[in-house]
Structure 1
Amino acid sequence: MNTSPAERAEALIRRYFAACNDADHAALVDCFTEDGVHYFPPGLPGAPWRGAVAIADGWVWCVKTLGSRWTIEKVLAGADGREAVIEWTHWKTAVNEVLRGDEWYIFNDDITKIREIRAYYASPVNKGEPVNKLHDFDYQARGYALQAPSPAPKIV
């Protein structure tokens, strides 16, 4: 069955998030061009993350250290599949923090790898708040995840 470029872009983003949640280093590297870049708002040490290996290292560290889990809330992909934007939630279960935001994606020509991600947070990270979110936005009524997904089972 043929898929549209927009469907291929969304599938790649979902594969990337599954690899993040599984802390699967090899699968993460496989989602990016070798020279891929992940940009972040100010405040994240070492940002931006440059290169597929550095991006994979960063997310594996987050899962192991912060108990990170992610959900995709919304996806909009361009008809040509070259760009997409998503809304996500980052659940830092080991430190009881939740962060919401958006990311803009740029893909390679055949939509098999991510070339660039630009992350935008819904709000500055406020360590005094257990859930960082938009003020007075009804996440529950809009169908957003209110709990982190369960960790993947450990493979021995």
Structure 2
Amino acid sequence: MVTGQWTLRAPKHSVWKLIVNPEHLVQNIPNVVSSDFESDRIFRFVVDVDTGLGFAQYRFNTVLDVIEPSESLVVRARGFSSQNVVEIEAKVTLTAVEEQETTVEYVIATKARGGLASVAQRTVSEVAVRHVTAWLKGALEVSSGSPV
């Protein structure tokens, strides 16, 4: 499990609007090859993942679950490659510090299964953190915020 936190100079409602947008999420994940949006909460994407041993293509089925509107959500993604299955769950919570400042906290849990699961498990957490932070940093840039 990996945790992290940022405080941004951006109003909470602006950050929330971006992090619940699946198109914004996909646009900010590195190496996305294609995407398909079933709804505003269910979508799929294909991504080339740098595993440290080369690239592996994963097809992810993803769901955004709002836990508390404008406060917290969970992104659940299940990815399939030719060798492995990875499951990623990222919980994101927003807290307004002041009118123009928002604290973003995240908790990321990962699991890998398959032929190269021991190697994948070591790299999937690192890759998941890179992708989640890229998504959240994209929200920061679009909302014109900056780290405090």
Query: TM > 0.5 between the two?
Result: no
* TM-score (structure 1 length as normaliser): 0.36
Structure 2 length as normaliser, TM-score? 0.38
* Structure with greater strand share of residues: 2
**Which structure ranks higher in relative contact order (CA pairs < 8 Å, sequence separation ≥ 6)?**
2
